[in-house]
A and B are shown apart, each in its own frame.
Chain A
C-alpha cells in the first residue's frame, strides 16, 4: 500500500453538508484539506478558490498537529442570503494562546504558534476568527465564499 495515496476520506458522505475530521497526524492534515477541496468543488467554487481553502485548512491543521498534538476540524457548506461557501471550524484543547492579536500579526518569527501560518491563512480566507483561552484551547473559524458569475 503506497504511502502517498490518500483515498477519499471515510467520514465523507456524498450528500453531506458537514464533515468532521479528527486531526492528530500528517495524514489527517492531508485528509482535511482534500475533503475541503472536494466540498468546495462540489459547491461550485473555482479551482483557485478551492486551493486557497485547502491551503488555509492545511495551515490550521498542521498547527494543531505541531503544537497541540490533536484536535478536530469541522467542514460545512454554508449559505448566507444566497451566497454559498465552505466554513471551517478548527478546534483543539491545547494550552491556548495568550495573545491572539500578536499571533495574527505578520512578521512573527516561528516559535510556538506564532509562525507564518495564521496570518497567512487569514489572508487566504474571506472570514477569519480566532478565539483562544489559556489552559483551555483554541478555535479558529474561517469561511471561503463562492465568487460571482458561477451558476
Chain B
C-alpha cells in the first residue's frame, strides 16, 4: 500500500470528534455478540463467503469484528494493514474473491452504523458528532482491507504466472551432457528471457556439452523471437555448450533471412529426433576422436 494513498484517506479531524470515539467504541463492544450475529446473518443472506463453512465464517467474523472495533479505537493503520495482509493470505487460497471481501467489510460498516443510529436517535446533534467520528474511520478501514486484498491477489497471480511459464518450458536431460528443450506455445520477450535463464542454469548443473532446442511447437516467430533464440545460442556457447536448433521449417527460415536475422549462428536440423541423433553423434565423435589421437594408439 502506498504511503501517500493512506494519508489521503486521513481526513482532518474536527473538534470534538475524538471525544465520541471511546463512547461509541464501548457501545460496539458491549453489543458485540448481537452485532456479530447480525453481521454473520447478513453475510449469509447476501450469499458471500460461499466457499467457506459456517464454522469458518463464524471464526473469521469474530476475529474481523474485534479487529475492526480495535482499529476504530486506535486508528492504527499499520496494525490493520498487517492484519489485512494475513487475512488475505489465508482466504485467497480458499477461493474468496474481491467483491466478497469488500462486501463483508461494507456490511459490517452498515451493521455498526445502524446500531449507532438506533442508540443516538433521540439526539440528532450527538448522532451527527458520533457519525463524524465513525464514518471516516470506517471508510479508511474499508479501503485498507480492500487494497490489501487486491494487492495480495495480484502478487499471487504474478507468482502463478511465473510458475506456469517455468512449467511450460521444461529442460530435459536426454543423456549425459545432452539437454533437449522442446518449446511449445508462443514466445514473448519475457518467456524467452526466462527460458534462457532456465536453460543456462541447466547447462551448468547438468554440465551439458550439447543442447537441442526444438521450436516445432512455436506457432509464429518474428524478428524479436528469432533474436532471442540467437542470443540463447550465443550464451550457451560462452558456457561451452554447442546448440542445435530443430523444427525450423524452410518457410520460417526464409522469412527470418528476409528479416535480416543472422541464422549462421544456429546449426539447424530437421526435427527433434534428428537433432538428438546429431547431438549424440557430436558427443560420441568427440570422444572417439580424442582416443584415436592418444599417443598410445600411435605406437
**A residues touching B (Cβ–Cβ < 8 Å)?**
46, 48, 82, 147-151
A82, A147, A148, A149: residue with the most chain B Cβ atoms closer than 10 Å = A149
Q: Once the chains are docked, how many angstroms separate the CA of A149 from the CA of B160? A: 8
Asked if A150 contacts B158 (CB within 8 A), the reply is yes
Q: Once the chains are docked, how many angstroms separate the CA of A27 from the CA of B161? A: 40
Which residues in chain B, 134-177, are within 8 Å of chain A measured between CB atoms? Answer: 155, 158-159, 161-162, 165
Q: Could you jot down 20 A-B contacts, CB within 8 Å? A: A46-B197, A48-B193, A48-B197, A82-B2, A147-B190, A148-B158, A148-B161, A148-B162, A148-B190, A149-B158, A149-B159, A149-B161, A149-B162, A149-B165, A150-B158, A150-B159, A150-B162, A151-B155, A151-B158, A151-B159
**B residues touching A (Cβ–Cβ < 8 Å)?**
2, 155, 158-159, 161-162, 165, 190, 193, 197
Contacts of A150 in B (CB 8 A): 158-159, 162
Q: Once the chains are docked, how many angstroms separate the CA of A151 from the CA of B190? A: 17
Contacts of A147 in B (CB 8 A): 190
Q: Once the chains are docked, how many angstroms separate the CA of A149 from the CA of B155? A: 7
Q: Once the chains are docked, how many angstroms separate the CA of A150 from the CA of B154? A: 10
Q: Once the chains are docked, how many angstroms separate the CA of A33 from the CA of B76? A: 40
**Nearest Cβ on chain A to B26's Cβ, whole angstroms:** 39
Contacts of B155 in A (CB 8 A): 151
In the complex, which residue of chain A has the Cβ closest to the Cβ of B156? A151
In the complex, which residue of chain B has the Cβ closest to the Cβ of A79? B2
Q: Once the chains are docked, how many angstroms separate the CA of A21 from the CA of B197? A: 30
Q: Once the chains are docked, how many angstroms separate the CA of A128 from the CA of B283? A: 43
Contacts of B165 in A (CB 8 A): 149
In the complex, which residue of chain A has the Cβ closest to the Cβ of B160? A149
In the complex, which residue of chain A has the Cβ closest to the Cβ of B193? A48
**Nearest Cβ on chain A to B94's Cβ, whole angstroms:** 19
**Nearest Cβ on chain A to B152's Cβ, whole angstroms:** 9
In the complex, which residue of chain B has the Cβ closest to the Cβ of A48? B197
In the complex, which residue of chain B has the Cβ closest to the Cβ of A49? B193
Contacts of B193 in A (CB 8 A): 48
Q: Once the chains are docked, how many angstroms separate the CA of A118 from the CA of B298? A: 53
Q: Once the chains are docked, how many angstroms separate the CA of A82 from the CA of B155? A: 12
**Shortest Cβ-Cβ A-B pairs, 10 listed:** A149-B162, A149-B158, A151-B155, A148-B158, A149-B161, A48-B197, A149-B159, A151-B159, A150-B158, A148-B161
In the complex, which residue of chain B has the Cβ closest to the Cβ of A149? B162
Contacts of A48 in B (CB 8 A): 193, 197
**Nearest Cβ on chain A to B266's Cβ, whole angstroms:** 21
List 9 extra interface pairs beyond A48-B197, A148-B162, A151-B155, CB under 8 A.
A46-B197, A147-B190, A148-B158, A148-B190, A149-B158, A149-B162, A149-B165, A150-B162, A151-B158
**Nearest Cβ on chain A to B2's Cβ, whole angstroms:** 8
**Nearest Cβ on chain A to B27's Cβ, whole angstroms:** 39
Contacts of A149 in B (CB 8 A): 158-159, 161-162, 165
In the complex, which residue of chain B has the Cβ closest to the Cβ of A147? B190
**Nearest Cβ on chain A to B165's Cβ, whole angstroms:** 8
Q: Once the chains are docked, how many angstroms separate the CA of A140 from the CA of B121? A: 66
Contacts of A148 in B (CB 8 A): 158, 161-162, 190
Contacts of B190 in A (CB 8 A): 147-148
Q: Once the chains are docked, how many angstroms separate the CA of A97 from the CA of B158? A: 42
Q: Once the chains are docked, how many angstroms separate the CA of A23 from the CA of B161? A: 41
In the complex, which residue of chain B has the Cβ closest to the Cβ of A81? B2
**Nearest Cβ on chain A to B201's Cβ, whole angstroms:** 10
In the complex, which residue of chain A has the Cβ closest to the Cβ of B162? A149
In the complex, which residue of chain B has the Cβ closest to the Cβ of A82? B2
Q: Once the chains are docked, how many angstroms separate the CA of A120 from the CA of B61? A: 57
**Nearest Cβ on chain B to A78's Cβ, whole angstroms:** 13
**Nearest Cβ on chain A to B149's Cβ, whole angstroms:** 15
In the complex, which residue of chain A has the Cβ closest to the Cβ of B151? A82
**Nearest Cβ on chain B to A63's Cβ, whole angstroms:** 24
Q: Once the chains are docked, how many angstroms separate the CA of A147 from the CA of B190? A: 9
**Nearest Cβ on chain B to A42's Cβ, whole angstroms:** 18
Q: Once the chains are docked, how many angstroms separate the CA of A147 from the CA of B158? A: 10
Contacts of B159 in A (CB 8 A): 149-151
Q: Once the chains are docked, how many angstroms separate the CA of A98 from the CA of B165? A: 45
